[in-house]
Amino acid sequence: MCGLAGFLNVTRNQTADGMLSIVGRMADTLLHRGPDDAGTWCNAESGIALGFRRLSILDLSPLGHQPMTSSCGRFVLAFNGEIYNHHELRDELAAEGRPFRGRSDTEVLVEGFAEWGIEPTIKRCLGMFAIAAWDHHRQELTLIRDRLGKKPLYVGKFGPTVLFGSELKALRVHPAFRGDINRKAISEFLRQSYLSSQSIYLNVAPLHPGKSMTIKLSDDQFWSDSMIPRQQDYWSFQQVAGNGLIQPFTGSYDEAVDRLDQLLTDAVGRRMEADVPLGAFLSGGIDSSLVVALMQKQSSRPVKTFTIGFEEDAYNEAPFARQVARHLKTEHTEITATSKEARDVIPLLPQLFDEPFGDSSEIPTYLVSHLARRHVTVALSGDGGDELFCGYRRYFEALDPFSASDSTARSAFLRIARVLHSMPRFVRTSFGRACQIAGRLPLGRVATLFSRASDVLNEKGPNDRYFRNMSHWRDLDLVAMGLPRADVNEIALLTDEDPSLARRAAGSMNFYHEMYQQVWQVYDTLNYLPGDILTKVDRASMGVSLEARTPLLDHRVVEFAWSLPHAFKVQGRSGKRILRDVLARYVPRELFERPKVGFGVPIGDWLRGPLRDWAEDLINEARLKREGFFHPQPIRQKWEEHLHGQVDWCYHLWDVLMFQAWLEKYPGV
């Protein structure tokens, strides 16, 4: 795993020494991603420069040094990631006469580009990657990101200069960079606590999963335009999901379990190749336990596994992980992190993530990465199982009137709803407002019930409910200054008023549920997975120079998962049916069939206690007014309500605090 950076300047008015100096400084900001080696390359006549920081995983010799030039001299490559089928590709290329000097997968890529072309080579690859490739013959730069978005790549356009890099900190170094904050991105961040479709900076964007971008030096129209370059698909998750639904797997359930076991075994086995120590994160949940089980199945020695425990029982998964590790006979390492150790991570977050990032599980993810890095350089992770196999509880809760569990409250709610829906709209609206007010007061369960009823009565259906539940701040124009009002339904992929859906669902409640759950899985895979989960794992692991690999997100597994009938994934109100049955071949069910424990920290309690002064300083009314991004009143109101225990606003407040902490670190460039 590594970090790359570079730029292309159409004016071509710099000396080679000057270009190498700049791109070297850009790459050096990524030292944490690649502490083992550094390299720079430029062609002043073309205005192109590439920089690289290397974390040596395969072929530790100088023959793996980057940027790397193809044997024919046509392509120069900077590559962050791993190609897991590089042995097979190497054999094909060697049979066609391509020469090889070392054993690295980088060399396989650059020789593949020279032999087959860039896109045909990428389509043959199994792996995770962010790539910058310069074609001398065509005088064009191609940027590529892997299919699911495991490895990051940002690109920005500032006048005659295109900048690109693994993290934003690399772009900031270049003299052409301007750090104007994208206020529309603030809207996206406050709504979902992370950024996925855009960057926090104007004129900078993430290259999206499964996309490539080609920039021609001779394209006068492009260079005269101020727009960021257009991205093209080389692999489309939407198409994969659609094809799977149209042409589903036709075998039996037992055959599907066998096939998934084989696919995952191969995916895990390929990710166990490394010339450095390797291990795995283990939480004791279904996904990580399955990855570790398949690792141990293919290993001649105990697999190294790592778990972070916490003092608070509600956040402590360590006992479950310990039981799985004992059963699989892994070499298990576990530490219990104190609240102070967890809080000590907070000052690192703005620089670690480079953009505002509000998922507080970033803290334990960093801690477990830090623990693993003491022993290994590569760690396998179980990320992706929930999105692929319908594992999130919210996929089921959004289909209920509300998520209350006891039948008495549910019956009372339904009676209220029926009565209110028979009344005029203004009566329902007045009742809803009263419920919202009551829900803010400590009136116990009745107030909570009425407040929940208010939300449901104002919803248009499950799709609206799902995205409302996924959202943090809602009335964004009342919170942030200068923003267009962002309706949460902008992100909906299927409207509840779709008449074709209503007609088809009328005869089948199962079909109705399946359609919504599949829509939410698609949305999460395109948005939540790369924007939150994979960003969190990448920044936390690379922050300690640890490579994290995610076998469940092998694109062959993704394609197979979407070909499976929904009933193979969901049974009753539980997802991951088929994953559970594969895991049961290796681990007794009693060790993993239990309610999921959240991987988090008690942010709400910390804000009332040891973090109170820190938070108060960041959201001080005078400071908020001076900076000009947030209206103080709604933030201060939630802060006071949170401090007095009236309402737990920790997620809303944490988003604002993470933006403020990031702004303090990067006030403008």
Cα(539)–Cα(350) distance, integer angstroms: 11
CA–CA separation, 450 vs 428, rounded Å?
12
**What residue type is 133 in one-letter code?**
A
| Alpha-carbon separation of residue 309 from 54, 213, 323, 601 (angstroms) | 31, 42, 13, 11
Distances (CA, A) of 592 to 239, 330, 597: 33, 16, 11
Q: Which of 652, 357, 354 is nearest to 531 (CA)?
A: 357
The DSSP H or E segment spanning 617 is: helix 612-618
Phi-psi region of 117 (alpha: psi -120 to 50; beta: other; left: phi over 0): left
Report pLDDT for 486. 44
CB 119 within 8 A of CB 112: no
Model pLDDT for residues 5-44, shown as the tens digit of each residue? 999 999 998 999 999 999 999 999 999 999 999 999 999 9
Cβ-Cβ contacts under 8 Å for 55 (sequence gap 6 or more): 1, 2, 33, 34, 35, 36, 377, 545, 547
pLDDT at residue number 459: 65
Q: Which residue has the tokens 């042409």?
A: 247
Provide the pairing of β-strand 2-9 with 278-281.
unpaired
- Integer-rounded Cα radius of gyration of the chain: 26
Q: Residue 502 is encoded by which pair of tokens?
A: 């209503």
- What the block records as the tokens of 184 is 């529309």
Q: Which of 263, 316, 287, 531 is nearest to 386 (CA)?
A: 287
Q: What is the pLDDT of residue 289?
A: 97
Quote the pLDDT of residue 458.
Answer: 63
DSSP state of 101: S
Helix axes 534-542, 362-373, angle to 10 degrees: 40
Residue 591 gets which letter from DSSP? G
- How would you classify residue 489: left for phi > 0, otherwise alpha for psi between -120 and 50, otherwise beta? alpha
Q: What is the pLDDT of residues 628-643, one digit of tens each?
A: 999 999 999 999 999 9
Q: Which residue reads 């469940």 in tokens?
A: 552
Give 261-327 as a DSSP string.
Answer: HHHHHHHHHHTT--SS-EEEE--SSHHHHHHHHHHHHT-SSPPEEEEEEESSGGG--HHHHHHHHHH
- Inter-residue contact 300 to 268 (CB < 8 Å): no
Whole-angstrom Cα distance, residue 420 to residue 302?
Answer: 62
pLDDT at position 495, please?
Answer: 38
Collapsing DSSP to helix, strand or coil, 12 comes out as coil
Query: In angstroms, rounded to a whole number, what is the distance separating the alpha carbons of residues 122 and 83?
Result: 10
**Amino acid found at 213:** M
Q: What is residue 596's DSSP assignment?
A: P
Residue linked to tokens 């892994």: 330
**Kind of pairing, strands 161-165 and 154-158?**
antiparallel
Q: Strand, helix or coil at 35?
A: strand
Low-confidence ranges of the chain (pLDDT < 50): 402-407, 409-410, 436-448, 485-507
Distance CA 43, CA 23 (A): 12
Closest CA to 483 of 652, 630, 638: 630
Distance CA 363, CA 349 (A): 8
Max distance between CA atoms of the chain, in angstroms, equals 79
Do the beta carbons of residue 157 and residue 164 sit within 8 Å?
no
Nearest Cα residue to 627 out of 662, 658, 667, 570: 667
Structural domains in the chain plus CATH codes: 2-235 (3.60.20.10), 239-347+354-393+525-591 (3.40.50.620), 396-487 (no CATH), 603-665 (no CATH)
Q: What distance in Å separates the CA atoms of residue 197 and residue 363, rounded to the nearest whole number?
A: 24
* Contact call for residues 432 and 457 (beta carbons, < 8 A): yes
DSSP-derived 3-state class of residue 156: strand
